[in-house]
A = this chain, B = another copy of it.
Amino acid sequence: MRISEIGEFGLIDRIKKDTIVKPQDVLLGIGDDCAAYYGTSSDKVALATSDMLVENIHFILSAGSPRQLGKKAMAVNLSDVAAMGGIPRHTLISLGISPDTSVEFIEELAEGIKEEARLYEVNLIGGDTVRSPLGLIINIALIGEVESDLIVKRSTARPGELIMVTGDLGGSAAGLILLLEEKKCSLVPPPLAQEVKSIHLSPTPRLKEGRVMAREKVATSMIDISDGLASDLTQIGKASGVGAMIYAGKVPILPAAKRVGELLGVDPLSLALYGGEDYELLFTTLPEKADSIIKLIKEKLGTKVSIIGEIRDKEQGLKIKNLSGEIVDLQPKGYNHFSSFSTRG
Interface of A toward B, CB cutoff 8 Å: 1-6, 8, 11-12, 14-15, 18-22, 25-26, 28-30, 34-35, 37, 39-41, 44, 46, 48-58, 89-90, 92-104, 106-107, 110, 114, 117-118, 121-135, 137, 139, 141, 143, 145, 338-343, 345
Known contacts A99-B3, A102-B2, A103-B14: does B126 contact A29 (CB below 8 Å)? yes
Cα A297 to Cα B55 in complex, Å, equals 47
Residues of B within 8 A of A5 (CB): 103
Are the CB atoms of B37 and A39 closer together than 8 Å?
no
Cα A2 to Cα B219 in complex, Å, equals 49
Q: Count identical subunits in the complex.
A: 2
Are the CB atoms of B132 and A19 closer together than 8 Å?
no
Residues of B within 8 A of A50 (CB): 92-94, 126-128, 139, 141
Residues of B within 8 A of A22 (CB): 121, 123
Residues of B within 8 A of A37 (CB): 89-90, 123, 125, 143
Are the CB atoms of B132 and A57 closer together than 8 Å?
yes
Return the chain B residue nearest A134 by Cβ: B134
Residue of A3, A12, A55 with most partner-chain B CB within 10 A: A3
Are the CB atoms of B1 and A104 closer together than 8 Å?
yes
Are the CB atoms of A52 and B20 closer together than 8 Å?
no
Known contacts A8-B129, A20-B125: does B48 contact A106 (CB below 8 Å)? no
Cα A133 to Cα B58 in complex, Å, equals 11
CB < 8 Å neighbour of A135 from B92, B118, B134, B340:
B134
Known contacts A54-B131, A132-B54, A134-B137: does B30 contact A125 (CB below 8 Å)? yes
Kindly provide the distance from the CB of A39 to the nearest chain B CB, expressed in whole angstroms: 5
Complex A-B: 24 CB contacts under 8 Å: A2-B102, A3-B101, A6-B103, A15-B110, A19-B117, A19-B123, A20-B123, A22-B123, A29-B125, A30-B126, A35-B92, A35-B126, A37-B89, A37-B125, A39-B41, A48-B125, A48-B143, A50-B141, A51-B128, A57-B133, A129-B342, A130-B343, A139-B141, A143-B143
Known contacts A21-B123, A22-B123, A40-B41: does B92 contact A342 (CB below 8 Å)? no
CB < 8 Å neighbour of A137 from B11, B25, B35, B52:
B52
Are the CB atoms of B54 and A100 closer together than 8 Å?
no
Kindly provide the distance from the CB of A44 to the nearest chain B CB, expressed in whole angstroms: 6
Are the CB atoms of B90 and A131 closer together than 8 Å?
no
CB < 8 Å neighbour of A94 from B44, B93, B139:
B139
Are the CB atoms of A121 and B21 closer together than 8 Å?
yes
Are the CB atoms of A118 and B21 closer together than 8 Å?
yes
CB < 8 Å neighbour of A129 from B11, B18, B141, B338:
B11
Return the chain B residue nearest A103 by Cβ: B1
Kindly provide the distance from the CB of A70 to the nearest chain B CB, expressed in whole angstroms: 11
Return the chain B residue nearest A80 by Cβ: B126
A2-B103, A11-B129, A50-B94 are known; give 4 further A-B pairs, CB within 8 A.
A3-B97, A21-B117, A29-B125, A50-B128
Are the CB atoms of B57 and A131 closer together than 8 Å?
yes
Cα A339 to Cα B96 in complex, Å, equals 12
Residues of B within 8 A of A139 (CB): 50, 52, 94, 128, 139, 141
